[in-house]
Amino acid sequence: MTFWERTRALIQQELELPVPSQFHLGHFLGGAVLFLFLIEIVTGILLMVYYQPTVTEAHQSIQYIMSTAQLGWLVRGLHSWGANLLILVALLHLLRVGLYGAYRERELNWAIGVILLLLVLAFGFTGMLLLWDQQAFWTTDAARLALERIPLIGKLFLDFLWGGVELGEGALLRFYVFHVGLLPWVTTLLIAVHLYLVARQGLFVPASREQDKPVKPVEGVSDHAEENVR
């Protein structure tokens, strides 16, 4: 079986998972996270066409995207607001899993979910400096001062991530590489593992609720709408 056949089979298996007979919007948070992540990937690729990761051109390229590039303001707006919404929805998804105790007997997937949330936060942190404006500079510099005080590993971490003591060309380039080169691949891999484990273990249903009905998501939404009408 080829890679694409396996991927298609995994997606098909995910779509055919049973949906709890009593479900609410909280069940869609995981799917919303995936949808927002895909939006970030697509809009990020489009922004890469115009963005220049240098201290002299970074902010100017952002201004060009916003004022001159065709629909650039829309693409950057989707990327910016989508990033904020992604952090919020990912946090809500993780909180819901924790509050419902859905991590029980799914500890590995829970750990992967926590790592994914940290990666989402890392996306936001590295992406902020790419704006290269006053707010981004001083916010990142404040984080640098905090990390510098960490015993033993603080200095090593700063040398690796910042490329030196001061924020400059090295830090901007490193943040850009992390934001567009490393984080997307690691996140995509962990999301694939996360979905695979969900497909293997099934959806979590609280013990107080009735057993799952083997319905597909679209059918479940239809039934839920009919109950509300009644």
Which tokens go with 88?
A: 């919020």
Q: Could you tell me which of 198, 225, 184 has the C-alpha nearest to residue 16? A: 198
Measured CA to CA, the distance from residue 220 to residue 230 in angstroms comes to 16
- Structural class in CATH, domain 25-208: mainly alpha
- Written as tens digits, the pLDDT of the chain (230 aa) is 676 777 677 667 666 666 655 556 667 788 899 999 999 999 999 999 999 999 999 999 999 999 999 999 999 999 999 999 999 999 998 888 878 766 677 788 889 999 999 999 999 999 999 999 888 888 888 888 887 787 877 777 777 777 766 778 888 999 999 999 999 999 999 999 988 887 776 666 655 554 444 444 444 444 444 444 44
Q: Helices (H) and strands (E) in the chain — how many of each? A: 10, 0
Rg of the chain in Å (alpha carbons) = 21
Domain ranges of the chain: 25-208
Measured CA to CA, the distance from residue 44 to residue 23 in angstroms comes to 33
